Amino acid sequence: MYDDKLERRRSRATLGLMILACILLLAALVPSPYAVEQPGPVVDTLGKALVDGKNTPVLAIEGAETYSTSGELNLLTVTILGDPEQPRSWLSLLPALLDPSQRIAPVSEFYPQGTTVEQREKANTVLMNGSQAQAAAAAFRAMGKKVGVELSVADVSKNGPADGALEPGDRLLSVDGRNIEDFASLRRSIIDAGDGAQIRIRFERDGEARETVLTPRAPEGGSEPLIGAAISMDYQLPAKVDVSLSKIGGPSAGLVFAVAIIDRLTPGPLLDGLTVSGTGTMSDSGQVGAIGGLTQKMWAAQRAGSDLFLMPLANCGDLPRRPPQGLRIAPVGTLDEAVGAIEAVAAGQEPAGLERCG
């Protein structure tokens, strides 16, 4: 016997399923303006990594006596899923909503308008190379070794204060008669002069000493004046330090590189068998700077079985409400504090923890 009501219910159910299928299909095909930030590869800087198909020591030091060590000293990375060329679909974002180690953010946060994937990769490679050099300088200085540095112009911004006055390759010598000792001293001189105030820069070009007057300006939305030039630093290190990594960029491994260099150049294993993971930029004077992707790196550290996680004190405001369970966290502001935290754990003591964040 034909049941009209039952047939209508079946038709509505079929129609509902068809609509749901269409929605899911569209969600799977239509690109979204969002990307997913998640924990990336973890690399032991005291071990080996696959580079060009070969297992190569991550850290190699020539021209100085090195010592054996034990344990793992991990640098942490993040992986960004989704970019201007390969956007994520709306459907692919759903798993990130259920995973505390992942974060959904606009693609523009990682790729500002007009920035290509290739440009971002090149910029991150430059930042990584710079972080390695600064980490090496900080490590040698922490061990009482003398490190020289030369600052030169890497690039000049069009229509910026230095446009037409400085050129790539110019070696900077002094500001207002004061010798430039490092990048920090250069920045202090520019900031102390103030926005719109003239400064006199002495530099060397093709072996000839020259002088120019610049008027630093604060960029739109910024507060500190700039001269409109990218500065590269060439350090004269007591020994040659080479870091071999593939497809990893950015400056956030500086802290771990510096600790690894100290561990290899000082007698006795600093880690004493511990697994230590960390993140943070490193200035050549040993200051630890803030990084991005803190939550994702914390989860990476926990999954790596870390006995200690080193993070920048400057990132205290970025701590998640619920840090990964069981992770011992030590916020640090300097290279010396990082080494001290490791020594404390190796000695069976507790380092200063999240109470430092207030």
Residue among 45, 239, 10 at smallest CA distance from 147: 239
Given this model, what pLDDT does residue 158 score? 87
Query: In degrees rounded to 5, what are phi and psi of residue 352?
Result: -60, 130
Given this model, what pLDDT does residue 282 score? 94
Given this model, what pLDDT does residue 5 score? 62
Continuous segment of H or E residues that includes residue 24: helix 4-29
Given this model, what pLDDT does residue 323 score? 93
What is 148-236's CATH number, 2.30.42.10, 3.40.50.970, 2.120.10.30, 3.40.50.300? 2.30.42.10
User: How do the domains of the chain map onto residue ranges?
Assistant: 34-143+239-357, 148-236
Continuous segment of H or E residues that includes residue 133: helix 117-142
Instruction: Give strand pairing partners of 57.
Output: 48
Given this model, what pLDDT does residue 147 score? 93
Q: Which residues of the chain have pLDDT under 50?
A: none
| Backbone angle region of 305, left / alpha / beta, with phi > 0 → left and psi within -120 to 50 → alpha | left
Given this model, what pLDDT does residue 128 score? 85
Kindly report, residue by residue over 199-230, the tens digit of the pLDDT: 999 999 999 999 999 999 988 767 789 999 98
- Mark 260-297 as b/e (b = at least 16 C-beta within 10 Å): bbbbbbbeebbbeebbbbbbbbbbbbbbbbbbebbbbb
d(CA 216, CA 189): 11
- The identity of residue 183, as a single letter, is F
Kindly report, residue by residue over 251-290, the tens digit of the pLDDT: 899 999 999 999 999 998 899 999 999 999 999 999 999 9
Single pTM value for the model: 0.82
Token pair listed for 194: 């103030």
Given this model, what pLDDT does residue 240 score? 95
Question: Which fold would CATH assign to domain 34-143+239-357?
Answer: Ribosomal Protein S5; domain 2 (3.30.230)
Token pair listed for 291: 């990084």
